[in-house]
């Protein structure tokens, strides 16, 4: 019997062609609907490998059903949907897709910053809804980006890539991270500061930190009150890093000027969520890495990791 692989979302046939040649492959065929939990638990029972999405919880319950499982390839750089300790105890290799998505995510993050500051989405709606009747000096006037201060919370590879883009806009670059990065400071002209100092000084606070026990709920009412009233909050990391009620209140009361959000605590977000009713919020459906080239690259990396593990080799991007 060939080893069995289960893929939790429909991927292009060209991506999985090499897997089909060597293994028994089954795939959830609904592209925009997550695989139901009961189906996943059933399918994993005989699987040697999984390709998972962020919406798939790989926890103790799943691993107890997965007696043959050797590797999980998560189609993301983050892996907060996976219980790493349980996977280790069960001898399951966990892989992710770092590096391949760095520049694409940085492009989107900086684009989100620009869209929020310059009211681009609001202006698009304005003209399409037939509201543009004349030119006026302050029509939909936004905030400048050049020569402002950007504060990056989480200076990993994506944070560094965003800082590189900010440098092109002649921005002053501050960052807060678990550890200092002297090489990045020298190369990018970035300055390491405490989180409190970053919040006070930044015109744009950009969150790119991983979701951990230390970062969960990091942004509360006090953090937004510390920011400039003219500042913008950008989150392209994980929704749970932010108290969304506190953010909503800060935006409503003018504690901060606006927000650009690619992630939310609950995804998909409820269309009636208060954040989505605010004109000073640009909201995106978790698409930071979603260029065709990058997503295909991420898929190919998942395939390569699975092939390596099932053949007894070391995977390219092993988490644990």
Catalytic residues: 238, 267, 286
- CA dist., res. 49 & res. 204, Å (int): 41
Q: How many CB atoms lie within 10 A of CB 141?
A: 9
Instruction: Give the DSSP letter string of 12-35.
Output: -HHHHHHHHHHSEEEE---TTSPP
- Each residue of 78-112: b (16+ CB within 10 Å) or e? bbbbbbeebbeebebbbbbbbebbbbbbbbbbbbb
**Short-list 262, 211, 214, CA closest to 234:** 262
**Beta strand ranges found along the chain (DSSP E):** 4-7, 24-27, 49-52, 71-74, 93-95, 149-153, 172-176, 190-192, 204-207, 232-235, 258-261, 281-283
Q: Which of 72, 100, 23 is nearest to 296 (CA)?
A: 100
Tell me the HSE value of 3 on the side-chain side, using a 13 A CA sphere.
18
Q: Are 163 and 152 within 8 A, CB to CB?
A: yes
Q: How far is CA 163 from CA 91, 109, 192, 209, 259, in A?
A: 38, 11, 12, 14, 18
The CA–CA distances, whole Å, from 151 to 200, 216, 227 equal 10, 19, 11
Contact 94, 306 (CB under 8 A): no
């Amino acid at each position: 019997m060939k080893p069995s692989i289960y893929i939790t979302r429909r991927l292009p046939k060209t991506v999985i062609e090499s897997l089909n040649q060597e293994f028994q492959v089954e795939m959830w065929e609904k592209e925009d609907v997550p695989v139901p939990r009961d189906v996943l638990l059933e399918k994993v029972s005989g699987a040697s490998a999984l390709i998972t999405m962020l919406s798939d919880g790989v926890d103790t319950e799943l691993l107890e059903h997965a007696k043959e499982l050797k590797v999980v390839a998560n189609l993301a750089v983050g892996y907060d949907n996976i219980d790493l300790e349980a996977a280790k105890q069960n001898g399951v290799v966990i892989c992710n897709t770092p590096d391949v998505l760095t520049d694409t995510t940085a492009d989107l993050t900086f684009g989100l910053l620009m869209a929020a500051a310059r009211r681009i989405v609001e202006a698009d709606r304005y003209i399409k809804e037939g509201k543009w009747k004349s030119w006026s000096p302050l029509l939909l006037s936004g905030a400048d980006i050049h020569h402002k201060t950007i504060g990056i919370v989480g200076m990993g590879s994506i944070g560094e890539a965003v800082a590189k883009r900010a440098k092109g806009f002649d921005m002053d670059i501050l960052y807060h991270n678990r550890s200092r990065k002297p090489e990045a400071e020298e190369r990018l002209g970035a300055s390491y500061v405490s989180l409190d100092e970053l919040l006070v000084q930044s015109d744009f606070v950009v969150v790119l930190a991983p979701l951990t026990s230390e970062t969960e709920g990091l942004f509360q009412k006090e953090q937004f009150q510390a920011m400039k009233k003219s500042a913008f909050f950008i989150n392209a990391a994980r929704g749970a890093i932010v108290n969304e009620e506190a953010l909503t209140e800060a935006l409503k009361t003018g504690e901060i000027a606006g927000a650009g959000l690619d992630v939310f605590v609950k995804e998909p977000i409820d269309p009636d969520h208060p954040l989505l009713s605010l004109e000073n919020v640009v909201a995106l459906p978790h698409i930071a890495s979603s260029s065709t080239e990058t997503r295909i690259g991420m898929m190919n990396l998942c395939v390569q990791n699975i092939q390596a593990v099932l053949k007894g080799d070391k995977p390219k991007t092993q988490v644990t």
